[in-house]
Amino acid sequence: MTVTTEIGKPRARKEDARLVTGQTMWTDNIQLPGMLHVCYVRSPMAHARIRSVDVSAARSAPGVIAAFSGADFAAEQGSLPCAWPVTPDIVIPAHPPMATDEVRYVGEIVACVVARDHYAAADALEKIDVDYEPLPAVLDMEAALAEGSPQVHEAGNKCYEWVFANGDLDAAFGDAPVVIERTYRQQRLIPCAIEPRAVVCEPVGDEFTLWTSTQIPHVVRFLAAAILGIPEHKLRVVAPDVGGGFGSKLQVTAEEFLALLIARKVGRPVKWTESRSEGNLAVHHGRDQIQRIKLAAGSDGRLRGLSVDLLADMGAYLMIITPGTPLLGAFLYNSIYKMDAYSFKCTGVFSTKTPTDAYRGAGRPEATFAIEHAMDDLAAELGVDPLALRQRNWITHSEFPFTTIAGLTYDSGNYEAATAKAVELFGYDDLRKEQAARRESGDQVQLGIGISTFAEACGWAPSRILGSLAYGAGGWEHAAIRMLPTGKVEVVTGTSPHGQGHETAWSQIVADQLGVPFEDIRVLHGDTQVAPKGYDTYGSRSAAVGGAAVVGACQKVVEKAKVIAAGLLEVAPEDLEWTPGRWSVRGDPEQGRTIGEISLATFAAHSLPDGVEPSLDSEATYDPENFSYPHGTHLCAVEVDTETGQVKIRSYVAVDDVGVVINPVIVEGQVHGGIAQGIAQALFEEAAYDADGNLLTVTLADYLVPSAADLPTIATDRTVTPATTNPLGVKGVGEAGAIAATPAVVDAVIDALRPLGVTDIEMPCTAERVWRAINAAKGGAR
């Protein structure tokens, strides 16, 4: 029997000690002897042929060691990897880290300066002369697919078409009493981790160490080795303290490859740190889809069929999982609802904009937005309460495990329980009454209620499923336990945290498994020399997959300790029983050895049983059979000033079911942060381009990341339905808030305004857009 003591405790984090005192090791803090600084020339044009690049004047500028253009790397730089060729006939254009012939978005790297300090490098950039021949920008997805459109790449603007269908669509839609057809737009977003990216590379002989602000040191190592021809065993990749990611650092970047190539050329350590303006141009963007949705239902509100037709903007090139990102939503448009038929089509489209890729939720926020928004539209069409419509259609808790129309098997959940809790906490009925009264009185400030009864698929793992989707990697996770002679424990994990608190949460797991104090455990990560195996951190996978690997490694330690304890106690192993932290003789509990005593005895190795190796250290690799399926009900009430269009979030309730909770404080923090990003998409943020393809939101003065004054206090609660797909029963929480929040907020705004005739507002719902929608509904100009 395992007595749980640490799992579930609201432990304050181990990580914080260095973070609140400024002792953090960000990549940009690294200083090495003789280190040089790199600055890049980036294309100021959305699309152009490069006629010539002249770096000679820069080379002779003060403090400059070298300057390079794409031609200098042409033979060795290869092409940045796309690891998810989603269809056999997908177009994957060459993507040199430094452009050689053509540039296809503002911000693409064209040349670089290597100098003694950052100021000298930045000064010399101005001496580089690039002659561009302008080519037409391609900015609109529908226009890009039309006959005669200018081409981003020779092979055309269509990247791929991916389809999925299940059930009899014709029957579902044929004589359906109600069919709603809508087009929604997912605006382009910029992830904006507060730490800008940075890379440091140190060459020693023919070996390299690369420090990089990344979520995926192991993947960077593998792909840099495979593509640049640096032998894998001679490349060490380190993710030191990393200041947020949200998917933006789930990438293998031009700047990482170029740091290796430049360091090799100049034979000295090099550093590159981006400015925020550089980052908004060059870090991959998120979302940017047009969603055409058709939803068929009976007159009783029972769903019959759903058809989804997406256009997804890839941007100019395919990054690591660019084409697959919209497909992560393909299996979730049906969400928690039962229906007879479902079809999904996604067309990937190239544009002359920054490449898109994973951003918190990656495909699932888009899917959840669309279905929840469509459910509200359907409820309005039918004249029923939108919550009642959801209840009419959702999978009930007695139906699990449930295989959905999209083919996923949801292992567990209880949508009724989470919703009941949320409705009570929110005061749903009272708010509906107040809404009715305000409508009745024609109040200038109208009240709207948004509902998001969401589920998602995360715990990004099952290698076999990923393989079946043409994903170019596996999804297992690795852990090792090192028992130190003094009884202290080192945990090596292949996950790579950047704010999530793995050092704390993994310590809680190990404390329970081995029965050692929380304080006696140290978690090591993010360095391929220390933690050599792993698939890193994204897709809310770390606890469900990496945590499960930690459990597996601990269990092996306990089994090894049993054999050694039996030798020490001179009894047979089967006569021993385990209580956390100690093997003792069954029926004679005084006779026993703690795990620390066993560890010391193993270190001495004087009296181990014959044939037993003197080590308790163990490792485990875990690959689950299925994803995990967090769910929850988020309810949002907004007040909308119908004269000004101003939206104010009045209350927000989130009841999440993320399975077993390792640390409730960390879980709540993830929910808060996810919701903040979901609200940001709903109300504030948009990456905007002008007609020439220039990004207009290059700085944080233009791209409106919300501040404390912009966001509400969120009321959170939980239900706990353990996952059955991993030994911890955890489901993942990193993305849930970002997936749930956007439709809750936008639907609340529209709910407030439906009596005025407003049925849709494009995100972000700024005061101007809301005012224009109200005005248009009144018959005025937009």
Q: Which residues bind other proteins (CB under 8 A)?
A: 12-13, 15-24, 26, 28-29, 117-119, 192-196, 241-244, 246, 273, 275-277, 498-501, 665-666, 668-670, 672-677, 699-701, 705, 707-709, 711, 713-714
How far apart are CB 58 and other proteins at their closest, in Å? 19
How far apart are CB 702 and other proteins at their closest, in Å? 9
How far apart are CB 500 and other proteins at their closest, in Å? 7
How far apart are CB 415 and other proteins at their closest, in Å? 24
How far apart are CB 739 and other proteins at their closest, in Å? 15
Nearer to other proteins among residue 194 and residue 388 (C-beta): 194
Who's near 121: CB < 8 A, 6+ residues apart?
37, 38, 39, 63, 64, 113, 114, 115
Do 203 and 263 contact (CB within 8 A), yes or no?
yes
Residue with tokens 């404080």, as numbered in its chain: 665
Nearer to other proteins among residue 63 and residue 474 (C-beta): 63
How far apart are CB 213 and other proteins at their closest, in Å? 10
- The DSSP code for 76 is T
How far apart are CB 354 and other proteins at their closest, in Å? 18
Nearer to other proteins among residue 157 and residue 681 (C-beta): 681
- The DSSP code for 695 is B
3-state secondary structure of 349: strand
Q: How far apart are CA 145 and CA 125, in angstroms?
A: 37
Amino acid at 499: G
How far apart are CB 24 and other proteins at their closest, in Å? 6
- Structure token digits, residue 443: 């109040």
Nearer to other proteins among residue 55 and residue 738 (C-beta): 738
Nearer to other proteins among residue 342 and residue 426 (C-beta): 426
Do 747 and 451 contact (CB within 8 A), yes or no?
yes
Dihedral pair phi/psi, residue 269, rounded to 5°: -65, 145
Nearer to other proteins among residue 191 and residue 448 (C-beta): 191
Write b or e for each residue in 677-687: b if 16 or more Cβ atoms lie within 10 A of its Cβ, otherwise e: bbbbbbbbbbb
Counted residue by residue, the chain has a size of 782
Nearer to other proteins among residue 167 and residue 669 (C-beta): 669
Do 396 and 416 contact (CB within 8 A), yes or no?
yes
Write b or e for each residue in 107-142: b if 16 or more Cβ atoms lie within 10 A of its Cβ, otherwise e: bbbbbbbbbeebebbebbbebbebebeebebbbbbe
How far apart are CB 278 and other proteins at their closest, in Å? 8
Q: How far apart are CA 144 and CA 146, in angstroms?
A: 6
- Structure token digits, residue 219: 């993947």
* Element (DSSP H or E) covering residue 650: strand 647-657
Count other Cβ atoms within 10 Å, centred on residue 613.
Answer: 11
How far apart are CB 110 and other proteins at their closest, in Å? 20
Nearer to other proteins among residue 70 and residue 674 (C-beta): 674
Nearer to other proteins among residue 14 and residue 631 (C-beta): 14
- Structure token digits, residue 276: 């925020």
Nearer to other proteins among residue 156 and residue 673 (C-beta): 673
How far apart are CB 712 and other proteins at their closest, in Å? 9
3-state secondary structure of 710: helix
Do 143 and 149 contact (CB within 8 A), yes or no?
yes
Q: How far apart are CA 284 and CA 105, in angstroms?
A: 12
Count other Cβ atoms within 10 Å, centred on residue 781.
Answer: 6
How far apart are CB 714 and other proteins at their closest, in Å? 6
Nearer to other proteins among residue 21 and residue 468 (C-beta): 21
- Structure token digits, residue 216: 């995926």
Write b or e for each residue in 757-776: b if 16 or more Cβ atoms lie within 10 A of its Cβ, otherwise e: ebeebebbbbeebbbbbbee
Residue with tokens 């098997």, as numbered in its chain: 409
How far apart are CB 573 and other proteins at their closest, in Å? 43
Nearer to other proteins among residue 674 and residue 693 (C-beta): 674
How far apart are CB 680 and other proteins at their closest, in Å? 9
* Element (DSSP H or E) covering residue 292: strand 286-297
Nearer to other proteins among residue 365 and residue 499 (C-beta): 499
Q: How far apart are CA 637 and CA 770, in angstroms?
A: 16
Count other Cβ atoms within 10 Å, centred on residue 382.
Answer: 20
How far apart are CB 624 and other proteins at their closest, in Å? 26
Q: β-pairing, 64-69 with 102-103?
A: unpaired
How far apart are CB 438 and other proteins at their closest, in Å? 24
Who's near 83: CB < 8 A, 6+ residues apart?
223, 320, 321, 471, 472, 473
Nearer to other proteins among residue 15 and residue 527 (C-beta): 15
- Structure token digits, residue 741: 């929040």
Q: How far apart are CA 667 and CA 505, in angstroms?
A: 10
Who's near 718: CB < 8 A, 6+ residues apart?
655, 656, 657, 658, 661, 664, 667
Nearer to other proteins among residue 348 and residue 547 (C-beta): 547
Nearer to other proteins among residue 118 and residue 562 (C-beta): 118
Nearer to other proteins among residue 273 and residue 602 (C-beta): 273
Do 512 and 518 contact (CB within 8 A), yes or no?
no
3-state secondary structure 18-34: HHCCCCCCEHHHCCCCC
What would you report as the CA-atom Rg of the chain, rounded to the nearest whole angstrom? 28
Q: How far apart are CA 180 and CA 294, in angstroms?
A: 6
How far apart are CB 663 and other proteins at their closest, in Å? 9
How far apart are CB 414 and other proteins at their closest, in Å? 26
Q: How far apart are CA 306 and CA 344, in angstroms?
A: 8
Nearer to other proteins among residue 350 and residue 684 (C-beta): 684
